[in-house]
Amino acid sequence: MKAFLCVAPILGAALAASSGDFTVLSMNVAGLPAILNSNDVPGDKTTNAKLIGSFFAQHNYSLIHAQEDFNYHAAIYSTDTHPFRTATSGGVPFGSGLNTLSNHPWLDFRRVKWDTCSDASSSDCLTPKGFTFMRLALSTSSTVSTYIDVYNLHADAGTLDADNTARQHNINQVASYISTWSAGNPVLVLGDFNSRYSRTADTAIRALLSSPSTSLSDPWLLLARGTAVPPTAESLCANPSATNYCETVDKVFFRSSPLLTLTPTAYEYVGGRFLQPSGDVLSDHNPVLVNFTYAAGVSLQQSNLHGGPHGNWFSDVPVLSGVRAGVKVIAITLRGGSRVDSVGVTLSEGTVLRHGGSGGTAVTLTLGVGEFWTEGEMCQAQKGGRTRVFYIGGRTSSGKEVQAGTKTGECVVYSAPRGWQILGFLGQDGDEIDQLGFVYGKQ
Ligand SMILES: *[C@@H]1O[C@H](CO)[C@@H](O)[C@H](O)[C@H]1NC(C)=O
Ligand SMILES: *[C@@H]1O[C@H](CO)[C@@H](O)[C@H](O)[C@H]1NC(C)=O
């Protein structure tokens, strides 16, 4: 029992908000050095960038993805007030121009460079363009937490053969990353795709919709066009655009998961909200605004994620979403020593879920009939400069306990919501457990 009595305060805990709404904005901010590209936008680029930042703050969008945020980045951030913002990767030719401004914190931010670029019709190889990944924490608590894997990207421009080839490769690179790193998770991808459904060569955006490994949807199709079927006829947008029916190259894709349902409720081009006092635009792209509601899953939910962003992503969600109602954990098997080597459960219908390596000493707790795994504790600390999971403890509905690893000063207890149980795990692993969260299912 003692293991569960001396517990550090919940880190970053908030009241469980397992449903709510948020807004996302994708905007190419036309921040190439004026000497290289005016973007056909009149006015001084620093002055314009400050105005863009002040509109970001005024409209208080929950999550903003900026592309081409190169040499006027500091001016945008000087007037914006979002509490969570990525550090710039640099101006031209050092940075990717991709940044995120958010009202929500995130884990595991990564910048990934494109494998392919083409200078056929514009200087796409001038800067290390690519995409970013982050696990956005919509809400965290000691029971249910809600996360979305969020991607920002800027794909190769131009319509010559080499541009088309590079661009499809870029978008397929993101799709492949999603299938590995976002397995089981809800996903949002917003950025400058430089793609239109109406161009037959732009096959990769259609594949995002149709491929089972990404299973994404486009809120523009659903809300502005009232269909899931991409158009073949071209319909270019004015800037600003008075209609949402036209198609832009700046796109938003999303998918729900058993852990979280995402529902787009509004789609709008908001160039009219980003104007200079003269009435001129601030960017040559229409910014895209999408409103979403979210709700934690009805049959699976998750705890907060604990530990560090090392190792490979794993999730029991795809397996657990396929098991019948009434399944429960009949055995918990943990391996540990100085840290946690592996975590595993055996389900009542026989499935064994196991993650991590084979080091350490194994301990197994067998659960009785009507006994559920309802509470877990995790401790983290650093080893070789990397945050890992040092301790895991489990407690059942009848008060039986099991633990592995070594306690540290950073421990958190997680409880399944009332009527729910711990059924599996998600996180990142290698030889040991680097990052860990619990997957809850109904009892
Ligand atoms: C922006 O919205 C968040 C909720 O998403 C709210 O907590 C915050 O106070 C708002 N900020 C401003 C400056 O209005
Ligand atoms: C979308 O959300 C924004 C910000 O909360 C709000 O101003 C706007 O009215 C919403 N749009 C619709 C159509 O609901």
Ligand 1 centroid–CA 105 distance in Å is 13
Per-residue pLDDT tens for 329-359? Answer: 999 999 999 999 999 999 999 999 999 999 9
Ligand 2 centroid–CA 7 distance in Å is 42
* CATH architecture observed for domain 3-296: 4-Layer Sandwich (3.60)
Ligand 2 binding pocket mutation candidate from 23, 58, 59, 290 (most atoms within 8 A of CB)? 23
Print burial letters for 231-269: b (CB count within 10 Å at least 16), e (below 16): eeeeeebebbbeebebbbbbbbbbbbbbbbbbebeebbb
Tell which atom from ligand 1 comes closest to the C-alpha of 103. 5
What is the average per-residue pLDDT within 28-50?
91
Ligand 2 binding pocket mutation candidate from 62, 288, 291 (most atoms within 8 A of CB)? 291
User: What are 98's two structure tokens?
Assistant: 């991709």
Per-residue pLDDT tens for 404-440? Answer: 999 999 999 999 999 999 999 999 999 999 999 999 9
Under the banding of pLDDT at 50, 70 and 90, the label for residue 273 is very high
Q: Is the pLDDT of residue 326 over 70?
A: yes
Does ligand 1 lie within 6 Å of residue 103's CB atom? yes
Does ligand 2 lie within 6 Å of residue 266's CB atom? yes
* pLDDT on residue 8: 36
* pLDDT on residue 37: 82
Q: Are 57 and 80 in contact (CB under 8 A)?
A: yes
Ligand 1 centroid–CA 143 distance in Å is 24
Under the banding of pLDDT at 50, 70 and 90, the label for residue 213 is confident
* pLDDT on residue 9: 38
What is the average per-residue pLDDT within 26-31?
97
User: Closest ligand to 292 CA?
Assistant: 2
Read off the amino acid at residue 384: G
What is the average per-residue pLDDT within 257-279?
97
Does ligand 2 lie within 6 Å of residue 23's CB atom? yes
Per-residue pLDDT tens for 100-109? Answer: 999 999 999 9
Does ligand 2 lie within 6 Å of residue 403's CB atom? no
Q: Are 294 and 262 in contact (CB under 8 A)?
A: yes
* pLDDT on residue 1: 30
Ligand 2 centroid–CA 230 distance in Å is 25
Q: Is the pLDDT of residue 13 over 60?
A: no
Tell which atom from ligand 1 comes closest to the C-alpha of 81. 13
Tell which atom from ligand 2 comes closest to the C-alpha of 266. 13
User: Closest ligand to 59 CA?
Assistant: 2
What is the average per-residue pLDDT within 249-272?
98
Report percent pLDDT > 70 for the chain. Answer: 96
* pLDDT on residue 340: 97
Read off the amino acid at residue 100: T
Ligand 1 centroid–CA 44 distance in Å is 30
What is the average per-residue pLDDT within 73-88?
98
* pLDDT on residue 123: 83
Per-residue pLDDT tens for 293-305? Answer: 999 999 999 999 9
User: What are 393's two structure tokens?
Assistant: 């403890």
Ligand 2 centroid–CA 267 distance in Å is 9
* pLDDT on residue 11: 37
**What's the Cα-to-Cα distance from 105 to each of 2, 82, 153, 336, rounded to whole Å?**
33, 11, 19, 31
- Closest residue (by CA) to atom 4 of ligand 2? 23
Does ligand 1 lie within 6 Å of residue 54's CB atom? no
User: Closest ligand to 83 CA?
Assistant: 1
* pLDDT on residue 2: 34
- Closest residue (by CA) to atom 12 of ligand 2? 266
Per-residue pLDDT tens for 45-80? Answer: 999 999 999 999 999 999 999 999 999 999 999 999
Model pTM? 0.94
Report percent pLDDT > 90 for the chain. Answer: 88
Ligand 2 centroid–CA 178 distance in Å is 28
Does ligand 1 lie within 6 Å of residue 60's CB atom? yes
Count of C-beta atoms within a 10 Å radius of residue 151: 22
Q: Are strands 401-405 and 106-113 parallel, antiparallel or unpaired?
A: unpaired
Of 5 and 165, the structure prediction assigns the larger pLDDT to 165
Tell which atom from ligand 1 comes closest to the C-alpha of 57. 13
Q: Is the pLDDT of residue 267 over 80?
A: yes
**What's the Cα-to-Cα distance from 354 to each of 39, 45, 333, rounded to whole Å?**
52, 54, 8
CATH classification number, 300-442, choose in 3.20.20.140, 2.100.10.30, 1.10.150.120, 1.20.1260.10 = 2.100.10.30
Delimit the domains of the chain by residue range. Answer: 3-296, 300-442
- Closest residue (by CA) to atom 14 of ligand 1? 60
Q: Is the pLDDT of residue 270 over 60?
A: yes
